[in-house]
Structure 1
Amino acid sequence: MKFTYTNPTQIHFGQGQISSITKNIPEDQKVLIIYGGGSIKKNGVYEQVISALANHTWLEFSGVEPNPTMETLDKAVKIAKNENVEYILAVGGGSVIDGSKYVAAAACYEGDGWDILLGKHSVKSAIPLGAILTLPATGSESNSGAVITRAETQDKLPFFSPAVHPKFAVLDPDAMKTLPEKQLVNGIVDAWVHTCEQYLTYPTNAMIQDGYAETLLKSLIKLANQFNDRDNDQWRENLMWSANQALNGLIGSGVPQDWATHMIGHELTALYGVDHGRSLAIIQPSLLRNQISVKREKLEQMGRNVFGLENSDELAEQTISAIEAFYHSLDVATQLTEHGSDKAQAIDSIIKQLEAHKMLKLGEHQAITLKESREILELAVA
C-alpha cells in the first residue's frame, strides 16, 4: 500500500443538524441554494435551510434533474456569475450535489463548462460548496467527483477536482422520511456497487480496506433484508452513513479499483434513461461473469466473508449468483429492457458511445476493451 488520504469535509450527522450551517457559511458571503424538483419544500428541509440562513443574503436555483444536465446547470452558472455568488449550498441527493460541483467550477471559468468534462480545462478553483444530503446513495457529499450529462449529445461524463470537495455536509436522516421506495432501493444498490468497485479486484492483503468494505457490504445486505421495516430512525441512519462511507475515499486508498461497471452503466442512463443505481445492477453480474478468471480470488473471499458461503470449486460463480439474488430481493432487474426489442442495435449504440468517450480500456487491469464490453452487454441486454 502506498497512498495519501485526506477528507476535508466536515460532517454534521444526525437529527436536527441542518441548523449547523449557520456557523459553516460566513454571514458576509452571498449564498446560492441549489436544489431539485421541490421535494425539500414538502419534507421541511427547505424551511430549516431558510431559517438557518436568516442572517445571510441568499438566492435559489431549482430544477436540477436526476442525472443533472449541463443545459440546466449552465443557467445556475449564469446566476452565480451575474450575482457574484460566494458560496453554494447544495440541498438534495447526489445529482444535486454533483450538479452544484459543476456550477461551482464552471462559474470560475470563462470558457464552455463542458470543457471541464472533456478534460480541456483542469479545475483549480471553484466557489466554496456545502451540502445538505436528502438522498443517500452516491457519497458525493464528501468526495471530489461529479458526473454530468449533456442532453443534446447523450454524453455522461465524470470530472474530479479537490476544488469542488464540499467544505461541510449535513447528514440528517429525517430528510429521508418522504423518499419514495424506489429511491431508497437505488441508494442501497449504488452504495453496494461503489463498495464493490474498490473491493472486487484482486488480493493485495490490505486488511483494513478489505475488512471495512466487507462490513459495508454486510450492512447493506442487512438493510435490504430489513427493507420492510425501513420506516425507523436506525434504518435511515445506517443507510445514510453506509452510502457515505462507501465513497469517501477510505476503502479505495492504496488498493486497485475497477469502475468498469460505472462507465458502461453511464451509457445506459444517457441513452435509455435508466436510473443510475439500476444501470449498475444490470451491468455488474454480467461483467463479473465475463471477468471471473481475474476476479476469482476476491469473489471467493466475498463469498466466504460477506455471504457466508462454503468453500467449493464453484464459490466464485455462487458469489455472483448471490449478488444477483441480492438485487432481485429488492426487485431490481439485472438485464436491460428499456432499449426496446432490437438487442443488436442497442449493443451497437452503447459500444459506439463507449468508443466516443474513449472508454477503450476499463477495469483494474485495463483489460476490458470494446470486445469485452460487447461480450458483457450480450449477457446484460435482454
Structure 2
Amino acid sequence: MHNFDFHNPTRILFGDGQIERIGKLVPSEARVLVLYGGGSIRANGTFDAVMAALAGRTVFEFGGIEPNPTVETLSEAIALVRRERVDFLLAVGGGSVIDGTKFVAAGALLDADPWTILEQHAKNVRAALPIGVVLTLPATGSEMNAAAVITRKRTQEKFAFVSRTVYPQFAVLDPTRTYTLPARQVGNGVVDAFVHVMEQYMTVPAQAKVQDRFAEGLLLTLVEDGPRALAAPENYDVRANLMWTATLALNGLIGTGVPQDWSTHTIGHELTALYGLDHAQTLAIVLPSMLRVRRAAKREKLLQYAARVWDLRTGDEDARIEAAIGRTEDFFRAMGVGTKLSDYGLGRDAIPAVIAALEAHGMTRMGETGEVTLDVARAALEGAA
C-alpha cells in the first residue's frame, strides 16, 4: 500500500426527511444562492422542501445548469453571486449541478477569468464560498469530494479540477428524492459509479486488501441493485444502497494508497465535448475496450475481478478475463447504456478528432503507469466502434 493523505470534511445527512435539517446548517444570516438544473426539483417537491428549510434567509436562485455544465452558463451565476453579495451556495441536483456550484464557489472569489481554474488545474484557487448539497441524482460522488468537471462550449473542451477548498460542508442524501428519476438517468448513474470504482480498483496490485475488498463490495452492490432500481423505482432499500454506493465510489476512500487509472474518463470527456454524449455513455464505450487492449498490464487484477465480482474462478485464465469483460458489457447494456460508438450513431470516422483533442490537451501519457499513449487510446476506441 502506498503512502496517502486522506481528508474528507463533508458531513452526510442520510435518509428520508433530512432536507429540513439544512436549516440548522446554513447560517441564519446567510445570503444563499440555490443552484439547480431543470425543472424536475419543482415538480417532485424538492424545491419547496429546500425553500421551507431556508425560511428567514435571503435566498436567490439560479437554474438551467446543463448536464455537462458550461463555463458560459456558470459565468452568469458568478455574476449573480457578486452582484447580490451571496455568501453561501446550495446545490440541488446531481453531479453536474454540484460540479457547476463548485466552479461558481471558486470562480466568484477569483480576480482572473474563472476558466483559468481549469487551465491551471486549480493552482490559482486559494479560497471558495461555502457549499451545501441536496443530492437528487446519485452518480458522480461530487457531493462528497473536491473535484469538478466543466465544459467550455465555445472551444469544445471539457476539463476537471480538484481543490480542497470546494469540498461541500454538508450533503443531504434522501433516497426518496430519486424515485421519479427517468430510467436513463438511473442507468447512467449506476454505470458512472461503477466506472468510478473501476478506475481506482482495476489498476496494478498495491497489496491494499482493504481498498480492494471495499471496491469489490461497491461493485457487487451496483450489479445487484442497479437492475432492481429500474424494475422497482420506489424500493427505498435499493435506492438507499445505490445512493450511498455512488457517494462512496468517489469520496476518496477506496482510492487512498492505490494507483489510479482515469484514462477511460479522460477519453470519455473528449467524446462528450466533441459529440455531446452523456458522460456515462462514454465510459461504457471506453472501459470494456480499454480493458481488452490493456489485459496484459492488468492481468492480475482482471483475474481477481473475474473471481470476486463475477464468480469466474475455474478454467482458462484468458477465457475468464474475456468473460469478465463481457459480463461488464452485459451489465452496462442491462442498465440501458450502449457500449459501442455505433450505439450512438458514431463510427470510426469519429475517432481521429478524439485523438487530436487528447494530443492538443497534452493527454499523451495516461493511466496508472503512463502506458496509455495515443496509440493505445486509438486502439481502445477502434475496439469499441
> In terms of mean alpha carbon deviation, does 316-325 or 225-234 score higher?
225-234
* 1:271 equivalent in structure 2: 274
For residues 258 and 353 of structure 1, what CA distance do their matches in structure 2 show? Answer: 19
| Structure-2 residue corresponding to 1:141 | 143
2:64 counterpart SS class: coil
User: Which of residues 356, 377, 384 in structure 2 aligns to 1:373?
Assistant: 377
* Conserved 8 A contact 2:341-2:347: no
Name the structure 2 match of 1:362. Answer: 366
C-alpha deviation, 1:174, in angstroms: 1.3
- SS of residue paired to 1:147: strand
For residues 221-241 of structure 1, the C-alpha deviation after alignment (integer angstroms, 9 at most, x for no partner) is 001342312321111111100
Q: Which residue of 2 aligns with 1:80?
A: 81
Match of 2:46 in 1: 45
Structure 1: which 5+ runs fail to align? Answer: none
Superposition map of 1:200-211 within 5 A: 200-211=202-213
* TM-fit CA distance, 1:330: 2.0
Q: Note if contact 1:272-1:339 (Cα within 8 Å) is conserved in structure 2.
A: no
Identify which of 280, 287, 301 aligns with 1:298.
301
**Aligned equivalents of 1:60 and 1:266: distance in 2?**
29
- Normalised by the size of structure 2, how large is the TM-score? 0.96
Aligned 8 A contact 1:18 1:49 in 2: yes
- In structure 1, the partner of 2:8 is 7
1:262-316 residue CA offsets vs partner (Å, 9 max, x unmatched):
0001111111111111110000011001110010100100110111012332222
**Residue 109 of structure 2 corresponds to which residue in structure 1?**
108
After TM superposition, list the pairs within 5 Å mapping 1:170-319 onto structure 2. Answer: 170-226=172-228, 227-311=230-314, 312-314=316-318, 315-319=320-324
Q: Tell me if structure 1 keeps the 8 A contact 2:95–2:139.
A: yes
* Whole-angstrom distance in 2 between the partners of 1:178 and 1:319: 32
- Partner SS state of residue 317, structure 2: coil
- SS of the residue corresponding to residue 250 of structure 1 reads coil
SS in 2 for 1:293: coil
Aligned partners of 1:272 and 1:338 also within 8 Å: no
CA-CA distance at 1:331 after TM superposition: 2.8
* Alignment RMSD: 1.2
Distance verdict in 2 for CA 1:46–1:292, change over 3 Å: same
Q: Does the 8 Å CA contact 1:66/1:95 hold for their aligned counterparts? A: yes
**CA shift digits 1:19-66 (9 cap, x unpaired):** 111011111111111001111101110001110010111111010010
User: TM-score, normalising length from structure 1?
Assistant: 0.97
SS at structure 1 position matched to 2:155: coil
Counterpart Cα distance in 2 of 1:37 and 1:341: 28
| SS across alignment from 2:204 | coil
Say whether residues 1:330 and 2:335 are aligned partners: yes
Query: Structure 2: 5+ residue runs without aligned partners?
Result: none
Q: Is the 8 A contact 2:303 2:317 kept in 1?
A: no
Deviation (angstroms), 1:81: 1.0
2:160 aligns with 158
> How far does residue 203 in structure 1 lie from its aligned partner after superposition?
1.3
Aligned length: 380
| Shift of residue 342, structure 1, vs aligned partner | 5.3
